[in-house]
A = this chain, B = another copy of it.
Amino acid sequence: MAAKEEEVTLLGVVGSPFLHRVQIALKLKGIEYKYLEDDLNNKSDLLLKYNPVYKMIPVLVHNEKPISESLVIVEYIDDTWKHNPILPSDPYQRALARFWAKFIDDKCVAPAWKSAFIVDEKEKEKAAEELFEALQFLENELKGKFFAGDEIGFVDIAAVLIPIVQEVAGLQLFTSERFPKLFQWSQDFHNHPLVNPVLPPRDQLFAYFKARAQSFAAKRKN
């Protein structure tokens, strides 16, 4: 638990998988924090003050020091509170974890986002194909129950958004035939006692994605 003098505040929007990454990391460490819900259509002064570069959630504020970008925050949490490690201690295993987390951000997030938000069928199909190709690499990489073995680690946390987005996009990529290992992983991960309480009910998830899809569509028109 965080000592009494520690002030940990998290700015987020419920339903954002990037927020969930940080929430799972805090839960793994048993850190208590104050949660502030933001509004992406009417961003708070606090969000603009603490993340002037991207103006996006999540932002973790620890003793008045703000940190942005979900994976940077997760590494900060792991560097600050050393118990229940999220990244392995071996330099090579750490590098592999960072490599796959970056792979998820580079090769899964963009096409998954497109699959969920784009209305054009052809573009959507292309994005789904890209995602399919990327997931094949992850399927091959998954050797234990979780990416790092028996316990949840950095890559699992990074990957939280994949099952969510595929559900929202109605892609049904994670079937037991197509990606049997990822399918089992998504079940185990979702039902994990530290992860499950963090994930919001389906209607809140869908509400978040609907709002993001609308804002995404509006931006594409401009």
Give A residues with C-beta under 8 Å from B.
53, 62, 65, 67-69, 72-73, 75-76, 79-80, 91-92, 94-96, 98-99, 102-103, 137
Query: Which of A72, A94, A137 gathers the greatest number of chain B CB atoms within 10 Å?
Result: A72
Asked, given contacts A79-B91, A91-B79, whether A72 binds B98 with beta carbons under 8 Å apart, the answer is: yes
- Give min CB distance, A103 to chain B, whole Å: 7
Q: Is the CB of B65 within 8 A of A92?
A: yes
Number of copies: 2
Q: Is the CB of A76 within 8 A of B53?
A: no
Q: Is the CB of A53 within 8 A of B137?
A: yes
> Which residues of B lie under 8 Å from residue A91 when comparing CB positions?
76, 79-80
- Give min CB distance, A214 to chain B, whole Å: 24
> Which residues of B lie under 8 Å from residue A67 when comparing CB positions?
92, 95-96, 99
Q: Is the CB of B53 within 8 A of A75?
A: no
Closest B residue by C-beta to A79: B91
User: A79's contact among B95, B99, B103, by CB below 8 Å, is which?
Assistant: B95
Closest B residue by C-beta to A80: B91
Q: A69-B98, A73-B95, A76-B95 are in contact. List 16 more A-B contacts (CB 8 A).
A: A53-B103, A53-B137, A67-B95, A67-B96, A67-B99, A68-B99, A69-B99, A69-B102, A72-B95, A75-B94, A75-B95, A75-B98, A76-B91, A79-B94, A79-B95, A80-B91
